[in-house]
Amino acid sequence: MDLDRHDFELDELMERIRSNDHRLIALQVPEGLKMQALEMMDTIETETSTHVVLAADPCYGACDLVHDKMKMMGVELVAHMGHSQMNIDSGMPTQFINVTYDGDPELSPVLPWLEQHRAMAMERLNNTPSQPVDETEAQERFMDAVGRLAPLTDTKLGLVGSIQHLHLLPEFHDRLEQARFDVTIPLGGARLSFPGQVLGCNYSGDNPSIGHYLFLGSGDFHPIGLVLHTGKPLAMLDPYTGEAEEMSLQRIERILRQRFGLIMSVQEADSFGILIGEKPGQMRRTLALRMKRMLAKHGKKGYLLALEHVGPELIDFYPVDAFVNTACPRIAIDDAVKYRKPLITPFELEVALGEKQWETGYQFDEIP
């Protein structure tokens, strides 16, 4: 990562520290910026009269805000870098610090993908999938990356990005319109702060007028979630490298086949560990309790397990047959192979118990 081309917007933080005369603040940075954290601590301590303690535990999102335990240490303010505010209250005053990257990639490498995907969306617009006729067809539809798609009303291009590239969206909107695409920057729900923003657990800006997507960002974490959630084709343009590619539907179908296998494997399970995340933006207590009641209704046992971090070494040894995860949804999707026992999402448990039907298609576990 070229840090010289990142803008760390520290001015507001400095001003807030000075005007409140804070004496101890906590700095929380994403994993990719941890190497630079000490330099940032030096800058803040030199320019203000505060001391800075680094919240050095892993941090993967704004769901994971430093919460009240740091009050006991005397921390007055949390400076959270690289993620945007969510609809959660951590119990601590928090200053969100934007980080933006100045890369401005050429549009041309991604245009062939966008043209292909628009053609797919047009074909879909004209061919609404029929209802599956039997269980086998419903199960095949379940594993089809795009077959479950709800009817489209249009074939617009949805323009989205990860947080450090969102400032590019208005300019890219105009460039894409000049390239004769009908573009929309989707507005999501309360968990998202900006138009076009996506999180690994929230794609709430999707709507039936969007036929395909362009993602400005790097890595495949957000693209995998978006295609699993929507079943719509997605092209990716990386502002760091200027390279373009598509999220392969075969890859999504491999994930769906794996999810299908996990659902089948827990159908005979009798006891489940139900994971509840302790992080403020991952805690879904009501959902966990609903899973426990649902298991009881089917004569099965559910044990509620609360954890700050989830990992195989922390849960595999419990004498249960399988786990249902209500913490970060991506733990079950992205890390399933690391666990000895099946680790499934709440929706997948509902399908395994027959509470939801295969023919409804795969539903991504979104945190609203």
How big is the CA angle at 99 (ends 14 and 206), to the nearest 5 degrees?
130
Q: Assess 60 for contact with ligand SF4 (CB under 6 A).
A: yes
Nearest-angstrom CA–CA distance, 237 and 244:
4
Binding pattern for the stretch 222-261 against ligand SF4, x by CB under 6 A and - elsewhere: ----------------------------------------
Stretch that binds ligand SF4, among 57-65, 112-120, 155-163, 333-341 (CB under 6 A): 57-65
Minimum CB distance to ligand SF4, residue 281 (Å): 6
CA 326 to mean position of chain CA atoms? 14
Stretch that binds ligand SF4, among 55-63, 173-181, 211-219, 232-240 (CB under 6 A): 55-63
Stretch that binds ligand SF4, among 1-9, 73-81, 199-207, 212-220 (CB under 6 A): 199-207
105 vs 205, beta carbon nearer ligand SF4: 205
227 vs 295, beta carbon nearer ligand SF4: 227
Q: Which residue in 199, 234, 275, 288 binds ligand SF4 (CB under 6 A)?
A: 199
Q: Assess 201 for contact with ligand SF4 (CB under 6 A).
A: yes
155 vs 164, beta carbon nearer ligand SF4: 164
Alpha helices in 60-180 (DSSP H): 111-126, 135-142, 169-178
Strand ranges across the sheet with 343-344: 301-307, 271-277, 322-325, 343-344
* Under 8 Å between Cβ of 148 and 76: no
Nearest-angstrom CA–CA distance, 27 and 33:
12
* Under 8 Å between Cβ of 271 and 300: yes
Minimum CB distance to ligand SF4, residue 232 (Å): 19
Stretch that binds ligand SF4, among 29-37, 60-68, 110-118, 311-319 (CB under 6 A): 60-68
Bridge partners (DSSP) listed for residue 303: 273
Q: Which residue in 273, 330, 362, 364 binds ligand SF4 (CB under 6 A)?
A: 330
Structure-token match 């079950």, residue found: 332
Radius of gyration of the chain (CA): 22
Minimum CB distance to ligand SF4, residue 300 (Å): 26
Nearest-angstrom CA–CA distance, 245 and 119:
17
User: Interface with ligand SF4 by CB under 6 A: which residues?
Assistant: 60-61, 63, 199-201, 281-282, 328, 330, 367
